[in-house]
Amino acid sequence: MPKPLYSRVLLKLSGEVLAGEKGFGIDPKKAKYLAKQIAAVKELKIDIGLIIGAGNIFRGIQAAGKGMDRVTGDYLGMLATIMNAIAVQDALEKEGCETRTLSAISVDQIAEPYIRRRAIRHLEKNRIIIVAGGTGNPFFTTDSAAALRATELGAEVVLKGTKVNGVYNKDPMVHPDATRYDSITFSKVIQDDIRVMDLTAITLCKENNLPIRVFNINNPGDLIDVLLDSKIGTTVYG
Given the DSSP bridges, would you call strands 234-237 and 183-185 parallel, antiparallel or unpaired?
parallel
134: Cα within 13 Å, side-chain hemisphere: 25
CATH number of the structural domain 8-237: 3.40.1160.10
In 3-state terms, what secondary structure has residue 177?
coil
Task: For residues 143 and 12, give the distance between their C-alpha atoms in angstroms, rounded to a whole number.
Answer: 7
Contact present, 37 and 217 (Cβ < 8 Å): yes
Task: For residues 171 and 148, give the distance between their C-alpha atoms in angstroms, rounded to a whole number.
Answer: 26
Identity at 100, one-letter amino acid code? R
Task: For residues 16 and 129, give the distance between their C-alpha atoms in angstroms, rounded to a whole number.
Answer: 20
pLDDT digits (tens, 9 = 90+) for 24-80: 899 999 999 999 999 999 999 999 999 999 989 887 777 777 888 989 999 999 999
In 3-state terms, what secondary structure has residue 153?
helix
User: DSSP readout, 14-66?
Assistant: -GGGG--TTSSS--HHHHHHHHHHHHHHHTTT-EEEEEE--TTT--HHHHHHT
pLDDT digits (tens, 9 = 90+) for 133-178: 999 999 999 999 999 999 999 999 999 999 999 999 988 888 989 9
CA separation (Å) from 228 to 44, 96, 97, 165? 10, 23, 21, 16
pTM, full prediction: 0.93
